[in-house]
Amino acid sequence: MFISVKNVSKIYKMDRVEIEALKNVSLDIEPGDFICLMGPSGAGKSTLLHVIGCIENPTQGDVIIHGKNVKEMNDGSLSLFRNKHIGFIFQSFNLLPVLTVYENVEYPLMIRGRKVDKEQVLSVIESVGLQDYIKHRPDELSGGQRQRVAVARSIVTEPDIIIADEPTANLDSRTGDLIIDLLLKLNKKSNTAFLFSTHNEAVSKYAKKIIHILDGEFQS
Amino acid sequence: MFYFKLGLRNIIRNFRKTMLTMATLTIGMAAILLYNGSNAYVFGQFSENLIRSEYGHFQIYKSGYLANVDDHPYDHLIEGYREISGELMKIPGVKFVAPRLSFSGLIASDNTSTTIYGQAGNPRQENKFWHNTISNGSFISSDDPEGILAGKGLVRRLSGELGDTFTIMATMKGKGLNGIDVKLKGVIDLGEADARNKMYGLVNLDRAQHLLGVGQSVDRLLVMLDNTAKMQKVEPEIREICSNNGLEYRRWDELAVVFKGIRDMFKMNEYILCGIIISILTFIIANTMSMNLLERMREIGTIRALGTNRKRVMYIFLAESSLIGLIGSFAGIILGLLLALCINLTGGIYHGPSGYHTFIAPQLQGILIYMLVFILDAAVSALMTARRASRMYIAETLRYI
């Protein structure tokens, strides 16, 4: 096992009110897993993804990735760790609007400060079928194409896990199916683990493992 | 480089929003360029005037002369000045070297007497300094060794006219009075405000040397260059000649104390103007970048999630604001140069009844320094926003709508 979430709780403080978004959850993720996190809005899906994605610290509990406890890392090493080991796909694509398709996909490699292998970037873009759009900006692409750019950006660093927060929510069902299909193919090809959230039952049918979450707790 | 590319594209994308900031920068830069250029023109003219009418580019004295001139004016004179002049003339850029001897004493006409501040020199060379100031008569010449050129006020005090003879009395080097007769050849007008107008007299060098009993000595050598821009290049060679011959030198701008004071005052005004513009810019740029941050919260969250560290997030904002500074100030230079061209082509800025016209002489070095200051200010103005952006919680920025 390379990711272990142990007894994680997350409490948000809003003025004088405390909201417990995660309640003592534990989860192990193996290489090649394709896990779907299901639950209604406000169930704690995004919070769990953020905690596993090392962009949010748990209030209690530990997240251990490759034997390293995320809590013990400082911001600099955590940034590097995210860049090397974790890929992100967001519901609203979150592409950098001023960069082209090529530059958006190149970005995670570029920030490593080393010379970027252009062939590697182009081959990833080709793998998501956007080789004819490398010079296009996000606002010149459809929703499905944008999400494919986001997928390419998430896999270009060859991470151990890709975290996708409702990747099909802003897409029509056909395009959503195509994106999930693409993620499945990549999962099979690279042995990268995928953890994605959705509240769409139709999407969850593709998952090898489904975790239901409600009010911050896993449902058996 | 990537951050500048990103910054430039963001500026283009948000052009309408950043236009106001850049326009402020542009107008500020153009204003400073015009003010700086106008001062450069005025003080350029003023300084050339002083160099060519009074100081020369350098003045050379015997070591210790300046420190003792008030108590023992003739104890530190330059002997054998012709050899030193010959050495100085060999320096490329030196146009001529004028020997001078100063003295003070009494000058008397048939009716009255008054003090005189006298100078003696070679008429041919002195003509180059004073020819513009002659209001009556002609310049003194070597052929007429008794000739004197006197200030308008001094002539009035003596109730003299051209051709009148006066007697000058002064203390000799060996203590004791001596006198010479001089004949009024010409009158110079240095303006009523100039105290020298009432005291100044210029005579032949050998007459003054005889009066003071100083042999062939002079108290200073004025070095005139063919171009003021060569001063820096020539100065080391002058320094070397001085040190080899027991001499010391002063640059003209060290001697022209009043000029320096006025120039410094105008420079201070320029810095104050620049300070005001920079203060305004600081607030405007800080506000623009702060608004920018609000609109790009998700973008910041995304790049942080992808592994961009805090330092690099700061770079993105600093690069963008520096680019705003660069583009705005560059546009300001273009605008300033165009305005300067228009002003110069239409006869300059007219200063009322004096008939004096000011032109704009843009200074490349000054402009580049101000441009650098503007770019730095733009970067510094964005520093707080950049720091804030780099320290935001990633998850919160991703949730931001």
pLDDT in tens, A58-84: 999 999 988 889 888 899 999 999 999
CB neighbour list of residue B166: distance below 8 Å, 6 or more residues apart: B107, B108, B109, B148, B158, B160, B181, B182, B183, B184
On the question of pLDDT at B353 being above 70, the answer is no
Secondary structure element (H or E) that encloses residue B71, with its range = none
- Is B78:B215 a contact under the CB 8 Å cutoff? no
CB atoms within 10 A of CB A144: 19
Q: Identify the residue with better confidence: B349 or B243.
A: B243
- Is A176:A91 a contact under the CB 8 Å cutoff? no
The residue-averaged pLDDT of B80-105 equals 93
Structural domains of chain A ordered from first start: 30-40+68-209 (3.40.50.300)
Query: Sign of torsion, CA A136 A140 A142 A144?
Result: positive
Q: How many beta-carbon pairs under 8 angstroms link A with B?
A: 69
Q: Would the CB atoms of A75 and B298 count as touching at under 8 Å?
A: no
Q: Among B91-105, B107-121, B191-205, B344-358, which is the least confidently predicted range?
A: B344-358
A185 to each of A34, A108, B128, how far by Cα in Å? 11, 22, 93
Among residues of chain B, what percentage have pLDDT more than 70?
A: 98
Has the ipTM of the complex gone over 0.90? yes
On the question of pLDDT at B150 being above 70, the answer is yes
Q: Would the CB atoms of B6 and A83 count as touching at under 8 Å?
A: no
Predicted confidence at residue B352, as pLDDT, reads 67
Q: Which tokens belong to B192? A: 């009523």
CB atoms within 10 A of CB B39: 20
Instruction: Give the residue extent of every domain in chain B.
Output: 2-48+260-399, 64-245
Give B390's Cβ-side CA count (13 Å radius): 20
List all residues of chain B from 4 to 33 with a beta carbon under 8 Å from chain A: 6, 9-10, 12-13
Predicted confidence at residue B238, as pLDDT, reads 94
Give the pLDDT confidence of B314-324 residue by residue, as tens digits.
Answer: 999 999 999 99
Which of A14, A74, A79 best probes binding to B when mutated, by most B CB atoms within 10 angstroms? A79
Integer Cα distance of A52 and A65 in angstroms: 9
Give the pLDDT confidence of B298-313 residue by residue, as tens digits.
Answer: 999 999 999 999 999 9
Predicted confidence at residue B25, as pLDDT, reads 92
Chain A contact set for B307 (CB, 8 A): 79-84, 108, 111-112
Give the pLDDT confidence of A7-52 residue by residue, as tens digits.
Answer: 999 998 888 888 889 999 999 999 889 999 998 888 899 999 999 9
Q: Which tokens belong to B50? A: 């002083």
Integer Cα distance of A104 and A139 in angstroms: 13
Q: Identify the residue with better confidence: A7 or A202.
A: A7
